[in-house]
Amino acid sequence: MAREVGRVEITMEALFARLAADFGDGLGELRVQEPDTLVAAVERRALHALAERLKAHELGYETLNFIAAVDHVRHLEAVYHLYSWHTNTWLELHVEVPRGTAELDTVTDVWPGADWHEREAWDMMGIRFKGHPDLRRILLKDDFIGHPLRKDYVDRAENHPHV
């Protein structure tokens, strides 16, 4: 049965309470960011299973709009921006990623639209997505050395053979 867009009338406080009850510790540090967004921290080991549950949930976060990668110097972070057409609300999942082992499970099997976003996060920030069907550079040439949006990136002459 198809869900009607925006048919669930729910306050952000009630949505917060519902997601906190249904997902327990899976959504850590859950908070409301007015007017239509919830923000939560997610353990990287739990990301894929949580993604499946969020998409299948009756209030369904069925759409992944984009993935942002952030360099916090001591660690990296992947931020998943999910949308529920059913409630007309957003859910941001913040996943801390260690610099030395910058790796997460892919969510392309949950949200196919994650494909290009994960490739961009790999290309620009060096976050590797395990299980991605085609993890290769998307913006830079295949033989580019490094990940240029990392704060510790130092450009190399090899990246500019025609200069």
Instruction: Dig out the tokens for 46 from the structure.
Output: 């739990």
Q: What is the mean pLDDT of residues 62-71?
A: 97
| CA dihedral over 151, 67, 92, 110, signed as positive or negative | negative
Share of the chain above pLDDT 90, in %: 85
Q: What is the pLDDT of residue 1?
A: 43
Percent of the chain with pLDDT over 70: 96
Tokens representing residue 131 in the block: 């299980």
Least Cα distance to 146 among 162, 124, 163 occurs for 124
Strands 103-105 and 128-130: parallel
* Bridge partner residues of 71 (DSSP): 76
pTM: 0.92
What is the rounded average pLDDT of the residues 37-54?
A: 97
Neighbours of 27 (CB within 10 A): 22
Q: Is 10 exposed, middle or buried (0-12, 13-18, 19+ CB in 10 A)?
A: middle
Please give the distance of CA 33 from its chain centroid, rounded to a whole number. Answer: 17
pLDDT at position 97, please?
Answer: 98
Alpha helices by DSSP H, listed for the chain, are 12-23, 47-56, 114-125
**Per-residue tokens: 62:** 């069925």
Q: Is the pLDDT of residue 103 over 90?
A: yes
> What's the whole-number average pLDDT of the chain?
93
User: What is the rounded average pLDDT of the residues 98-125?
Assistant: 97
Rounded Cα–Cα distance for residues 28 and 151 (Å): 27
pLDDT at 44 over 80: yes
Domains parsed from the chain with CATH numbers: 12-152 (3.30.460.80)
Look up tokens 């961009």; give the residue.
120
